[in-house]
Structure 1
């Protein structure tokens, strides 16, 4: 790669840091936060409970015949205290969709719906009145429960969990001395195998502001740090047998699945005041997709109604007809920014390698055409998180996955240890085409998630 010398005025660096900090830390302070992957769509910027932040999918390390899928919402929550409360929205359908045929439509959807029981005395905000050691304690004054349904086209909805318990927002060590016990109370077994946990976790996002500033803004010299280091999020984490996700129930013949998550809120007909059904307001697929592909994707400087907002309301089966999105993938702005920040020569446009990996999957790894029973003519381009369930669990996971000889991890699913910022930088600069890109990320300072994952389900760190 050809490298040129680069300098930047100190005032520009200071301004860049201020913009980045404002975009990220406005969340906890002002009651606002970003959308999918934390900051990417003006329309969902102020809609915290429906604000999807991250989607993960991987073969469960201690139960390799299952897949774990985690959909995180309402990111950038402050560390626990008696007065912090981050409930799930009760007028919203949260759904995880799985496509085994590659047509951008779900063969199975897992739908969560929430209810609230609020027994707090008027004028008080504390959700807990005394130390809590189980979710059955009377000291829990604010409770949430959920229903989890499995939906398959042409079949009646199947209820997997009724009145499931939500682990409440962490109220600090004095009032919740053993949050792990509360999490065990909130873990439900599913009929036919599998389980689910719904509640608060420490955010697992391995995020590096220094790399992000180069990709998004073309700014070098921004200090490397993780802005979610001490923040929490809400999660719906599922563990599902692979046979329930694979085409024709056969994960050996048909190992590839596509996964995305959505939040839809109830809408009213403003003229008649009647229920007008459900409107999708948030969508999550691959990490950092809108930030790295859509120039209007930051809530502070984005354009309401622009591509990032349109993405939130669209379904993957329509992506193949969305020429504006395909054009952004084919001729991305990210490489120019990275070139400006690092002095590295960007690849020439157009970029068929990015179109393949983002919208079709890698041919020998995550493309739906690897499924032996799939109709190749029906496979459509779609922005989803793809997972090859036949890939063995890595005994030594590598943060840069395929570039470090690890076949598991993003873009083959996504684990909590995957460094998606580093990976996106290398993909954008031609790493999939054989260009040597290791120099861009090998000196990165942020190399691990904010808190280590646990060894057993739900694999999420306890909240701060």
Structure 2
């Protein structure tokens, strides 16, 4: 069969029409206007934590999620990624709000024309597969369209730094396979085993030990009451029970880029005042600046559109929910086209936040907006990292790099040991738990962390006492009514759960 590695064959033709660089638009969770037009590069969540799988305590896991709200039954095309985009995870280990290491993923479509004998003719089939798939990653004879990817490691500036390509340890090649989405139990009888065979040992340039990589569909345990939150916090009991069965992501999958990297390969010169190494991280996605629609798509590699020109950033995500509920509507696109080094332009949204005032109005004063300005507690949480001391002034926790540049990103103190290897033993309120869990958000972010409830409480003043101010709500348990379903998570890489199948029926093969 003829296998086509589909690339934008005409991209060079239009490249000369495009600018060398420029601003774009972006978002996370569909909250900025432009991202609704390019959902394949919509970044939804970013996780960064010390690996807690047994035997992997010397690693950090980075997980970037894209393409949200995937209905499992979304065939026949399901949810392929954009081969004309690049998906990136950036690490700042010098506390200057600039990337020092970038993990850059690029996708390639792999297609073959599968035909069936119909009468005296061979006719192309309409579905993505015409038979069973897996469990081996290479068992794709029955598949018409799948994807592979490469992983570049860039040191220095993401566009002008030193580029090296990671290699597949098992094959020695520079390509990795992405599993098909979970079509259903008849097409892929054992999806967990099939996806597990796509977890690949990877040789990462510049690292003393190998890591692991996985790109594919997952069931994230992240929970949020989307409809009611955006309907002016239309929750009947916003200060009541956390679990009100209001998770509106319960029936949706997402696509994850996961890479596990030796900790000492990520740390640099950024340290806390106590000397602990700290890294900052965020994700982006970029697309070509120009797109030409093809009025007559053909089967010879010329698809429905052709992209070209310089890459333009259209998605950015570090701390969760920032663009949804912190950045003003008029600046959402601009925020996501920017880089952390320029975040002082958005400082007013943190020092003088609108969300607490909105929460006071929409909860009919069930919570009170703190009247403390500037909100230095929010500056620490989102822009600088946090340092906490006990009653005697002794530092008990810090992920604040000494002399760091204020910028919005996740920060992780890599000296703090990995979390309990059993997800069920991790506290989903992280540092806000009654017994603070320093391995949880906002010290990085683990899949178990309920960042919605944490950030709602921080917004109304839960951390003000750490900064010598009074919490007007006395620790009121503001909730969105949805909690992380820990049972969905794995205790090992890639940590996020097996995606929901498009057909939940058992394998009804004759």
Q: SS of 2:347's equivalent?
A: helix
Q: SS of 1:190's equivalent?
A: strand
Q: What's the CA shift for 1:51?
A: 0.7
Partner of 2:323 in structure 1? 290
Partner of 2:295 in structure 1? none
State whether structure 2 residue 248 is matched by structure 1 residue 246: no
Q: SS of 1:221's equivalent?
A: coil
State whether structure 2 residue 210 is matched by structure 1 residue 193: yes
Partner of 1:372 in structure 2? none
In structure 2, the CA distance between the partners of 1:449 and 1:35, relative to structure 1 (3 Å rule), is: farther
State whether structure 2 residue 68 is matched by structure 1 residue 75: yes
Question: Which residue, 81, 97, 100 being the options, matches 2:90?
Answer: 97
Q: What's the CA shift for 1:211?
A: 7.5
Largest Rg, 1 or 2: 2
Preserved CA contact (<8 Å) 1:111 1:149: yes
Q: Deviations over 1:397-436 (max 9, x none)?
A: 1111112121121111111111111111111111111225
Partner of 1:455 in structure 2? 491
Question: Which residue, 384, 389, 398 being the options, matches 2:427?
Answer: 398
TM-score when scaled to structure 1?
Answer: 0.81
In structure 2, the CA distance between the partners of 1:233 and 1:431, relative to structure 1 (3 Å rule), is: same
Preserved CA contact (<8 Å) 1:211 1:224: no
In structure 2, the CA distance between the partners of 1:249 and 1:433, relative to structure 1 (3 Å rule), is: closer
User: 1-side partners of 2:350 and 2:307: how far apart?
Assistant: 40
State whether structure 2 residue 288 is matched by structure 1 residue 266: yes
> RMSD in angstroms over aligned alpha carbons?
2.7
Q: Deviations over 1:62-105 (max 9, x none)?
A: 21111111000001111146624211100011110000111111
Q: Deviations over 1:5-58 (max 9, x none)?
A: xxxxxxxxxxxxxxxxxxxxxxxxxxxxx9754232111012111111111111
Partner of 2:369 in structure 1? 346
Partner of 1:166 in structure 2? 178
User: 2-side partners of 1:204 and 1:139: how far apart?
Assistant: 31
Matches within 5 A, 1:309-324: 309-320=333-344, 322=345
Matches within 5 A, 1:93-242: 93-121=86-114, 124-133=125-134, 134-137=136-139, 138-153=141-156, 156-161=162-167, 162-191=174-203, 192-209=209-226, 212-213=229-230, 217-221=232-236, 225-242=246-263
Q: SS of 1:98's equivalent?
A: strand
Q: Which runs of 4+ in 1 moved over 4 A?
A: 34-37, 120-125, 248-254
TM-score when scaled to structure 2?
Answer: 0.74
Q: Deviations over 1:115-162 (max 9, x none)?
A: 001224576442221111223221122121111011102863111131
Q: SS of 1:112's equivalent?
A: strand
Number of residue pairs matched by the alignment: 406
In structure 2, the CA distance between the partners of 1:360 and 1:211, relative to structure 1 (3 Å rule), is: farther
Q: Which runs of 5+ in 2 are unaligned?
A: 1-24, 115-122, 168-173, 204-208, 238-243, 293-305, 389-397, 466-470, 501-510
State which drifts further: 256-265 or 133-142: 133-142
User: 2-side partners of 1:80 and 1:173: how far apart?
Assistant: 12
State which drifts further: 82-91 or 157-166: 82-91
Q: What's the CA shift for 1:212?
A: 3.1
Q: What's the CA shift for 1:356?
A: 2.1
Q: Deviations over 1:223-257 (max 9, x none)?
A: 75111101111110010011111005999955211
Q: Which runs of 5+ in 1 are unaligned?
A: 1-33, 297-305, 370-375
User: 2-side partners of 1:125 and 1:58: how far apart?
Assistant: 42
User: 2-side partners of 1:431 and 1:274: how far apart?
Assistant: 47
Q: SS of 2:476's equivalent?
A: helix
- Going by fraction, where is helix more abundant, 1 or 2? 1
In structure 2, the CA distance between the partners of 1:360 and 1:128, relative to structure 1 (3 Å rule), is: same
Preserved CA contact (<8 Å) 1:49 1:74: yes
Preserved CA contact (<8 Å) 1:201 1:233: yes
